[in-house]
Amino acid sequence: MCRSEDSEGSAGSGRAGLSGRGDGGYVTAESAVVIPVLVTVAALLIWGLMAGAAQVRCVDAARAGARAAARSEAPGAVARVTRQAAPAGARVSVSRDGEMVRVRVTVPMPRFPVGLTAEAVALDEDAVEQVVTGPGGGGRP
């Protein structure tokens, strides 16, 4: 006996009666749980992309600031170049340790739940020039 014959023979009973028992409520309940979860996952993915982009901007800003400081630009110019490349609200610090210039860019915690920090170090170009030309400025022997 095939299925079509079985369903014709039991028109008022059997499977036809079981399928009409109100399964539609399950779809509503499942949707009520799944939709907020999907929205939360999407929000976390977007937040992760924004945090990643902000970290890349911090790295780029620190590198730009270190290059400017290594060229012996004025401290105000170094801070301006770094802030232009950094995300909004970032803190910039520039320090010198002998011949090395260190620039740190930090995005504070209220913007992202994790702290974003990037640091770049560059050798001062004046120090490189002294090594190449020698202390007397006469070039290599």
The pLDDT of residue 114: 81
CA distance 10 to 13: 5
Residue 104 contacts residue 62 (beta carbons within 8 Å): yes
CA distance 54 to 76: 23
The pLDDT of residue 108: 82
CATH numbers and ranges of domains, the chain: 14-133 (3.30.1300)
The pLDDT of residue 137: 57
Residue 92 contacts residue 105 (beta carbons within 8 Å): yes
Tens place of pLDDT per residue across the chain (141 aa): 555 555 554 544 445 555 556 565 677 778 888 999 999 999 989 988 988 999 999 999 999 999 999 998 998 999 999 999 999 889 999 999 888 999 999 998 767 778 899 999 999 888 776 666 766 555 554
Q: pTM for the full model?
A: 0.66
Beta bridge partners of 116: 107
